[in-house]
Amino acid sequence: MAVRALVIVHDHMSTTGHVGERLAERGYALDELLVVPAERYTTPDVDVVFPPPTNYGLILTLGAPWSLTRTTGWMRAELALLRTAHEAGIPVLGVCFGGQALATALGGRTERAPRFELGWSRIEADEPELVGPGPWFQFHGDRWRLPPGARELARNEVASQAFVLGRSLGVQFHPELTPEVLRTWFDQAGAAIPAEVAADPDRLVAELRADLPAVRERARALVDAFLDRVAEV
């Protein structure tokens, strides 16, 4: 029987991508919860009832275009869920905003990064068998401060890039990302963010598409390391 995993999808444009694909291959049935529906994208202060995390064998929380520097009701509810899951020993994998949420839930905090990070980045990896040097795709303007007791696994000049605490792992980059989702993000965000960092959206989508086999393999290796070495399932 498949193990149920709760997937917190914060916005209608994002998907589990390569990460969800590998979790399914490893025997997980993904129960997706969409937090902010498409019609509320510009007014994301929605009411959300999260299921009890103890109903699941794993929690995956994805990225989001919003910021935890000012929390709304659903953000506070998600932080409580992640805290409860971690304290119950349920493995949590947090991606980008999800990693920031995990860090904040466990006693760290989220703050603005010194600059918006968009595009490919190689990272300084202390334990490449857990989190490799990449390159990984970055799309964030915030960063976390580590919670007490966490072990930082990787970083670059902008932000901490990965940490582990108990059976929980947070990463700042986007291992799940597909060209289709990235194209949708750019179409929704418009030209403001790419212009801010002098990035070419078409080039970034093309690079992701061209490197897709390697991107998928890096994501699969990350999920396997999370399950085998951090979650120890």
Q: Is 12 annotated as catalytic?
A: no
> Annotated catalytic residue: which of 10, 78, 174, 207?
174
> Annotated catalytic residue: which of 21, 78, 117, 176?
176
CA–CA distance, 116 with 193 (Å, rounded to integer): 8
3-state secondary structure of 76: helix
> Annotated catalytic residue: which of 21, 78, 96, 117?
96
Strands of 66-205 (E only): list them.
92-95, 109-121, 124-125, 136-145, 151-155, 160-165, 168-171
| 49 close to 97: Cβ distance less than 8 angstroms | no
Q: Is 111 annotated as catalytic?
A: no
| 117 close to 140: Cβ distance less than 8 angstroms | yes
Q: Is 174 annotated as catalytic?
A: yes
CA–CA distance, 90 with 39 (Å, rounded to integer): 32
> Could you give the dihedral angle defined by the CA atoms of residues 78, 79, 81 and 86, in that order, rounded to the nearest 10 degrees?
140
The residues annotated as belonging to the active site are 96, 174, 176
